[in-house]
Amino acid sequence: MKIRVLGAYGAEGLAQRPSAFLVDDTILIDGGTVGGALSTAEQIQIEHALITHSHLDHVAGLAFLTETLALYEAPTPLTIASLEPVVKALRTAVFNDTVWPDFAQVPTATSPIVRYRTLVEDAEQEVGGLVVTPIAVNHTVPCSGFILHDGTSAVVYSGDTGPTDALWKAAGKVRGLGAVILECAFPNRLSALADVAKHMTPERIRRELDKLPGDLPVLIYHVKPQFKDEIGDELGEIAGHRISFAEQDKTYLF
């Protein structure tokens, strides 16, 4: 499985893009940024967007991607896939002909540039050649993590979440697990904010990782740009895991 980091952050900064990953050139995992990281030719290859939740730092890039797909008459429509409340939020609050055009009606309702697919929680389903299992996690709005399996290797992507058990329980049963891509938003001193906003801090991550095999590589994403150095120092104190920041624009093979 090839995973390219389009955006590694939980907000936008100078050359720091919101969360998005591209799997095997055709499947987006979150879409906080797309056009800021990919050429037009690369964008029109995207066929699926697996979206964890409706927050802007995970979907803003879909607005410009869909417009690009429409303008360039992409050969394949984009299927936006997520749990039912997330699909509903995108349809009613984003692609609603007020905030942005309803591309499920463009150019025609029968042959649109965007389609929606509701995923079933806790069940394996095929998306673009991957087997995807959405697991609900612990955030301020409905949000799922994803377990992605290509038949050989697997990756767990946390989505935005505070402490959770369901995802790690499901991850424990996955064969060929190559890495966990895990969010962290705030440094330890902002733990009260992390509680309210339902995000990780390095200290929370230390406790979460006790629920997983010890030597698993952990890639951290969704750091708020202004806290990157501080969070990096605190993550460096966690023993027993290979923890590193997901590096923007880098392609990882699992």
Binding site for Zn ion (CB under 5 A): 10, 55, 57, 160
**Cβ 148 to Zn ion shortest distance, Å:** 19
**Cβ 157 to Zn ion shortest distance, Å:** 13
**Cβ 154 to Zn ion shortest distance, Å:** 23
**Cβ 10 to Zn ion shortest distance, Å:** 5
CB closer to Zn ion, 7 vs 10: 10
**Cβ 90 to Zn ion shortest distance, Å:** 14
The pair of structure tokens assigned to 225 is 């740009």
CB closer to Zn ion, 55 vs 206: 55
Q: How far is CA 251 from the centre of its chain?
A: 15
CB closer to Zn ion, 57 vs 234: 57
DSSP 166-218: HHHHHHTT-TTEEEEEEE--S-GGGHHHHHHHT---HHHHHHHHTTS-TT-EE
**Residues of 158-177 as b/e, b for ≥16 C-beta within 10 angstroms?**
bbbbbbbebbbebbeebeeb
**Cβ 55 to Zn ion shortest distance, Å:** 4
CB closer to Zn ion, 60 vs 155: 60
253 by DSSP, 3-state: which?
strand
Would you say how long the chain is, in residues? 254
* Strand-by-strand arrangement of the 20-23 sheet: 114-118, 78-82, 48-50, 27-31, 20-23, 2-7, 251-253
d(CA 213, CA 198): 24
Peptide bond into 142 cis (omega under 30): no
CB closer to Zn ion, 55 vs 228: 55
CB closer to Zn ion, 43 vs 52: 52
